[in-house]
A and B are shown apart, each in its own frame.
Chain A
Amino acid sequence: MRIACTVNGHTRVAENVWAGESLLYVLRERFGLYGSKNACEQGECGSCSVYLDGSLVCACLVLGGQANGREVVTVEGVDAAGVQQAFVDAGAVQCGFCTPGLIVATHDLLRRVPQPSDAQIREALAGNVCRCTGYAKIIEAVNMAAR
Chain B
Amino acid sequence: MEFLQPATWEEALAMKAAHPEAVPIAGGTDVMVEINLDHRRPETVMDLTPIRELTEWGTDDGVLRIGAGVSYTRLIDELGDRLPGLAIASRTVGSPQIRNRGTVGGNLGTASPAGDAHPPLLAADAEVELASTSGTRRVPVREFFTGPKRHTMRQDELIAAFLVEPAPGPQQFSKVGTRNAMVIAVCSFALALDPARRRVGTGIGSAGPTPLRAVDAEAFIAGELDWDGRRPPSDATLSRFGELVAAAAKPIDDVRGTAAYRRHALAVMSRRCLAWAWATPPHLWGGGARSAPEGL
Which residue numbers of A lie inside 8 Å of B, CB to CB?
1, 18-20, 22, 41-44, 46, 49, 55-58, 60-63, 65-66, 68, 105, 108, 112-113, 116, 120, 123-124, 126-128
Is B27's CB within 8 Å of the partner chain A? yes
Known: A46-B95, A127-B97. A63 touches B45 (CB 8 A): yes
When distances are taken between beta carbons in the complex, the residues of chain A under 8 Å from B2 are: 19
B25 touches A57 (CB 8 A): no
B295 touches A46 (CB 8 A): no
A49 to B96, CA, bound (A): 10
A126 to B1, CA, bound (A): 34
Known: A46-B95, A113-B296, A120-B296. A65 touches B47 (CB 8 A): yes
Is B240's CB within 8 Å of the partner chain A? no
Known: A41-B36, A56-B100, A113-B296. A61 touches B3 (CB 8 A): no
A55 to B31, CA, bound (A): 19
Interface size on B, residues (CB 8 A): 29
- Count chain A CB atoms within 10 A of each CB in B28, B32, B47 and give the residue with the most: B32
Known: A65-B5, A65-B47, A66-B49. A120 touches B295 (CB 8 A): yes
- Minimum CB distance partner of B30 in chain A: A61
Known: A68-B5, A123-B296. A63 touches B35 (CB 8 A): yes
Is B137's CB within 8 Å of the partner chain A? no
Picked from B1, B29, B296, the residue with its CB within 8 Å of the CB of A20 is B1
When distances are taken between beta carbons in the complex, the residues of chain B under 8 Å from A116 are: 295
11 contacts between A and B (CB under 8 A): A19-B2, A20-B41, A43-B95, A55-B100, A55-B101, A62-B28, A63-B25, A63-B35, A65-B45, A126-B96, A126-B181
When distances are taken between beta carbons in the complex, the residues of chain A under 8 Å from B45 are: 19, 63, 65
A113 touches B295 (CB 8 A): yes
- Top 9 nearest A-B pairs (CB, nearest first) are A127-B95, A126-B181, A19-B3, A19-B1, A41-B36, A61-B28, A65-B3, A42-B33, A61-B32
When distances are taken between beta carbons in the complex, the residues of chain A under 8 Å from B166 are: none
- Minimum CB distance partner of A51 in chain B: B100
Is B94's CB within 8 Å of the partner chain A? yes
When distances are taken between beta carbons in the complex, the residues of chain B under 8 Å from A56 are: 96-97, 100
When distances are taken between beta carbons in the complex, the residues of chain B under 8 Å from A124 are: 96, 296
Is B236's CB within 8 Å of the partner chain A? no
Nearest-Cβ distance from residue B94 to partner chain A, whole angstroms: 6
- Minimum CB distance partner of B40 in chain A: A20
Additional 13 contacts, C-beta under 8 A, given A42-B37, A65-B5, A105-B97: A18-B1, A20-B1, A22-B32, A41-B33, A42-B33, A43-B94, A55-B101, A58-B101, A60-B36, A61-B98, A65-B47, A108-B96, A124-B96
Nearest-Cβ distance from residue B266 to partner chain A, whole angstroms: 25
A66 to B4, CA, bound (A): 10
Nearest-Cβ distance from residue A73 to partner chain B, whole angstroms: 14
A41 to B101, CA, bound (A): 15
